[in-house]
Amino acid sequence: MAAAIEVKGWCPGVLRPMQSGDGLIARIRPWGGAIGLTDAKALADAAERFGNGHIDLTRRANLQIRGLTEPSLNGLQDVVTTLGLVDADARAEAVRNLMVAPLAGIDPGEAFDVRPLACAIEKGLAADTALHDLPSKFGFLVDGGDSVSIAGERADIALRAVGQAVALGLDTPSGTLWIGRTSPDAAVKVALAAARTFLGVRRDRRRLRDLDEQDLVRLRAALAPMLDVIEGEMPVASNRPLGVLPFGANRFAVGVAAAFGRLEAHQLRNFATMAEEAGAADIRLSPWRSLYVEARDITAARLLVESARDIGLIVEDTDPVLRIDACPGAPACRSSSVDTRRDALRLAALPFKGNVHVSGCAKGCARSAPAGLALVGEQGRYGVIRNGTTRDAPERTIAAEDVGALLDVG
C-alpha cells in the first residue's frame, strides 16, 4: 500500500502515518475498543519487527506503533490488514474516532451491553462517504453507565445508556450538554444524524465545541424531533480503578496502566499471554491509557495483577506516575527540545500534591485539560504555568533540573 506521509495537523493512521523524531507513527483504531489476545500478540511482534518496539496508548483509546520507516510500513500494513484492523481507505480510517467504555459487556452494573451500538456507529462512519468530511479530531464516545465510565471524557457526540434508553450529549465549551434520549435501536441513527447536521452548520469550525450559540441552537432544533426530554441531572462518575475489580455475581476484571501510556512490545505480548491464562478473551483500551481484561475468578485476577506488576505495569491507582501526563518528548518528537519523560519520572519520585503536565511543546498532546502545574518545553528549558493548559502564557522559564522545586509537596 502507498502511504501519504504528513508531519502534523491531524491524527496518524495505518494508511496515513505521521513523521516524528523516531520515525513514522501509525495509529491503530481497534473496532469496539477491544483487541483480541491473538491480535495483541501479533501487533506486539509487528511493533518489534517493523518499528522500534515502542507502543503508545493514546487519549482516544487507540494504539500507536512508533519507529516505522517507509520501507517497513508496508509490512505493518499487511499485518494489520490480515487482522482486520484497518479500513478501506485513509479517509474512512481517519473518521472512525470512537471510544467505548472499557468494561462494556463485562460489568454487570451497566444498563445494557453497548458494544453492538458502538460497532454500528463505527461501521456507519466508515461506510458513509459524506461523513468522511468530518474534521480529523471529531470524535464519539459510547458509555454503558457502568462503574468504570468514560462519560466524563470529552467527545463531540456522546451516547450513554440510562436505564433502557440512550442519552445523547453534545460537546460545548463548558463540557457535555445532554440534550435528550432515544431508544437503543434509534441511537445509531441519531448519532450519525448529529454528525451530518454538524457538517451543515459548522462553517469551517473544527469541533462541535467551536460552534457559536446560534449554530448550536440550529443543531439542537434539528435533533429535537428524534429525542425525548431528559428529566433531572445526568451525574457522571470519574472512576479509573486499577488492580483487581470485583463486580459481584462472581465477575472480576483487572485494570493495569503503563507509565505515560508507553508500552514496550514485550509488555503487550506478555500481558496478552497472562490475560489469556486468566480467562480473558480480549484487551479493552481506555482514554486514560489503562488496559482492562476480564478474569475467570478472584484467584486468576490476583495472579494477573502480580504478573503485570512484575513486567513493569502499574497496578495501583494511587501510583504518583498516574498524576503526571507526559508526551514522548525529545528525541522521539521533533517538536520537543526537552526529555519530558525523564523529567516526569524525576518528579514522580518526589512527594507532591495535585497533577502535573510535562509537555515538549505548546501543543500539549498528552493532556488538553488544565493541570495544577504545566511545564512546556522551550529551547531546552521549561515554561511554567499554574492551573492552566500548555497554551496559556508561562509565568517564567526555568532549567529542566529545577522543575522539582516547583512541586506542591506534602
User: What are the tens digits of pLDDT across the range 93-125?
Assistant: 999 999 999 999 999 888 899 999 999 999 999
C-beta contacts of 279-282 below 8 A and 24+ residues apart: 280/37, 281/36, 281/37, 282/34, 282/35, 282/36, 282/37
Binned at pLDDT 50, 70 and 90, residue 134 comes out as very high
HSE-up of residue 387 (Cα within 13 Å, Cβ side): 1
Residue 171's CB is within 10 A of a number of other CB atoms, namely 21
- In degrees, rounded to 5, the angle at the alpha carbon of residue 62 between the alpha carbons of residues 61 and 63 is 135
Distance CA 383, CA 396 (A): 6
The DSSP symbol for 232 reads: S
354: three-class secondary structure by DSSP: coil
Mean of the pLDDT values across residues 32-60? 97
Q: Could you report the per-residue pLDDT of 319-333, keeping only the tens digit for each?
A: 999 999 999 999 999
Distance CA 84, CA 251 (A): 30
- Using CA atoms, how far residue 81 sits from 14, 89, 132, in Å, is 9, 11, 20
pLDDT at 362: 93
pTM here? 0.93
